[in-house]
Structure 1
């Protein structure tokens, strides 16, 4: 077989391979609109339906599909301090949608003349709300040591599970802040008088 015949056969083979490759590329490209059209017609293209219902997704903005905007839950905040110090929420209540992330600040001041170690324990009302109140960040996770007269403001970041029973419209989050025993030195003589004076001088923020 001559070299010319071999080159001719090779060119034909390369041409056939290019045609096949282009045909496969075109078929694959056409599969996308075909798949979308078929799935839309059958009602099984979940992504396409979600994009139409959430226009923010098309602009590249994430949308939290877990937020139940049809409900509003009132969350009340309470604070109890077992000891001579100041402890309170920055706000008394918030209204949030289930699934919506929210933040509330709690303020604390050690009005004693000594350092103290303390920790907060949360409680919930009604009780059935406990399993549905999810804290993402909370000062209650750890102990805290504060110097004499030191003030702190701590966040509580939370989300209420959309599975919260429909009859629950108000949740009370209450913290009890107590001193952890044996972690700090005893108060010096006259400390109670100084603590009382410091407490009277501090004006809580509203």
Structure 2
């Protein structure tokens, strides 16, 4: 019997089928590897404590801000000055915070006029070296405020003191000057 050798087309088909088989095996292995990575990744994250996006309810009370310096306390005093027809004051005279700890205070302002007014608050700090370490996350001083006739507003200030504050600073005074922007006090050109 004579043995027939496949022609070039037959050899090409056989090589194509062999390559397709290899590619299918590689694709299945890649899918399996990707599928297996999810539980492996979770196990590694659980063991190392990284990628903790949503802590379990039992852990929530255990999470602490490690940036808070509990070894010292800073007294932050609040002051208010009004240039214009306002009643403007902080709701508390002072608070004590640890550096790195978030705190919130509220300032109250009342427009004593029978017209709407636009106003802006400008902060100042004492001692001057504390300015760079007083970090405000939310503040009414970031933008102009519009108050309607005889309107009263409570405006929050959310802040923290940078732990890099020099250790000799024990008291910081935050003072705001609230003044009218434009309006009746504006000079005609």
Report the TM-score when normalising by structure 2.
0.66
Query: Is the 1:114–1:185 contact (alpha carbons within 8 Å) kept by the matching residues of 2?
Result: no
Question: Counterpart of 1:129 in 2: which secondary structure?
Answer: helix
Q: Deviations over 1:170-199 (max 9, x none)?
A: 000000000001xx468xxxxxxxxxxxxx
Q: Deviations over 1:127-166 (max 9, x none)?
A: 0000000000000000011111000000000010000000
In 2, distance between residues paired with 1:86 and 1:143? 17
Task: Report 1:111-190 matches (<5 A).
Answer: 111-181=112-182, 184=183
Gap change, CA 1:60 and 1:146, over 3 Å in 2 = closer
Report the TM-score when normalising by structure 1.
0.61
Task: Report 1:18-29 matches (<5 A).
Answer: none
Question: Counterpart of 1:152 in 2: which secondary structure?
Answer: strand
In 2, distance between residues paired with 1:58 and 1:118? 47
- Which structure carries more helix by proportion? 1
In 2, distance between residues paired with 1:98 and 1:58? 27
Question: Counterpart of 2:64 in 1: which secondary structure?
Answer: coil
Question: Counterpart of 1:166 in 2: which secondary structure?
Answer: coil
Per the TM alignment, residue 58 of structure 1 is displaced from its structure 2 partner at its CA by 7.6
The count of corresponding residues between Structure 1 and Structure 2 is 137
Aligned-residue RMSD, C-alpha = 2.6
Question: Counterpart of 1:66 in 2: which secondary structure?
Answer: coil
Confirm whether residue 81 of structure 1 aligns to residue 82 of structure 2: yes
In 2, distance between residues paired with 1:58 and 1:163? 33
Unaligned runs of 5+ in 1: 1-24, 37-44, 48-56, 187-206
Query: Is the 1:90–1:104 contact (alpha carbons within 8 Å) kept by the matching residues of 2?
Result: yes
Moved runs in structure 1, 4+ residues, more than 4 A?
Answer: none
